[in-house]
Amino acid sequence: MNDITTFVFDVDGVLTDGSVFVTNEGEMLRTMNIRDGYAIKAAIESGYNVCIISGGSNEGVRIRLRNLGVNDIHLGTPDKVKTLKEYADANSIKRENVLYMGDDIPDFHVMKLVGLPTCPQDASPEIKNICRYISHVKGGRGAVRDVIEQVMKVQGKWMEYFNGKHD
């Protein structure tokens, strides 16, 4: 965790609990954890890169993430490996400095490319088997907050962020 400069997150099952509420009009609604959002904002304001790579494409998700300060949002991504490589190359990020949190098979190959593959407590067994850190928290319930907080604490930046200007 000492060398992490970049957080990459999947959406469904990581930033959400994987549930989708479908309205009579066919709109699909998701819920996100406020504490996850707070940690994302803290990471960005502390100088970390934050990137979202998801196969799903929901404009509400994009709006929520933009409001948190996330600029690198890749929704509707059919090839997560290609997207991660392009993102890392374009931003001169070494893959060994990347923490990726995924929860299911579509994340498998991209997670094998990063320095710190992580997952929520309720991830699929195949994903858990390749992770170097498994959160004690389920997806959509604070798993993102957990990994961000762990990295920032190891690097001495967690409480530093809150001292003074972010009370």
Annotated binding site for Mg(2+): 10, 103
Dihedral over Cα of 49, 50, 55, 59: its sign: negative
The binding site consists of 10, 12, 103
Residue 139 makes CB contacts below 8 A (sequence gap 6+) with 13, 14, 15, 16, 17, 18, 103, 120, 121, 122, 123
The binding site for substrate consists of 12
Q: How far is CA 121 from the centre of its chain?
A: 14
Q: What phi, psi does 55 have (nearest 5°)?
A: -75, -25
Q: Which residue has the tokens 């060398």?
A: 3
